[in-house]
Amino acid sequence: MPKQPTRSKPSTISQPADSRQKIAVFPGTFDPITLGHLDIIERGRKLFDRLIVAIGINPEKEHLFPLEERLTLIKQLIKPFDNVSVETYSGLTVQFVKKHNASAILRGLRNLTDLDYEFRVALTNRKVAAVETVFIMTREEFGFTSSSLIKQIVTLGGDPNQLNELLPAPVIKRLIYYRDNKIGAFAIPPKEPM
């Protein structure tokens, strides 16, 4: 009787369960976090098993909110999402991505200016660190929203309550507190035009 061919058994190399997860990192300063950011988090988390919101530390940048405040706000806002976490980091984003065994960087795109910049960064990250980038187009209502623009509006006297279509309520509440108590960027008087 002919011998039956033997089938090779699947590899049983033990790997931690997390090693097979698709993990993405959504980096930024999130100063402040906007509804546009939350839209990208909400939609991006559905594409990956885990999404890490990574708050980058840039000591050369003047921030509206200190790092701990941004971390606390984001933790509060992502609480409903069971596969989203938040961490802080310094250094290169690609190093943070590799440290967490992430397969991609998640980025939101608002317009062609974003596309030009993000495309160059994504190509560089792929070339020098073999890290892929996944882009999500923002919803139309957030196409003009940026943390920098929001900072400018509120530090130059704009009413944070009028930003309710751009910012989550807890961020507006903290902006009002900072403004009323002249904390951080609100303690610095606006520069007079020359």
Find the catalytic residue in 147, 151, 174, 179: 147
- Is 148 part of the annotated catalytic residue set? no
- Is 146 part of the annotated catalytic residue set? no
What are 76-134's pLDDT values in tens digits? 999 999 999 999 999 999 999 999 999 999 999 988 888 899 999 999 999 999 999 99
Q: What is the token pair recorded at 174?
A: 């903290």
At residue 193, the pLDDT reads 57
What are 142-193's pLDDT values in tens digits? 888 889 899 999 999 999 999 999 999 999 999 999 999 988 888 876 565 5
Find the catalytic residue in 45, 110, 174, 179: 110
CATH number of 19-144: 3.40.50.620
Task: Give residue 36's pLDDT band: very low, low, confident or very high (50, 70, 90).
Answer: very high
- Is 147 part of the annotated catalytic residue set? yes
Domain ranges in the chain are 19-144
- Is 37 part of the annotated catalytic residue set? yes
Residue of 123, 184, 151 whose CA lies nearest to 32: 151
Q: How many C-beta neighbours within 10 Å does residue 131 have? A: 20
At residue 18, the pLDDT reads 52
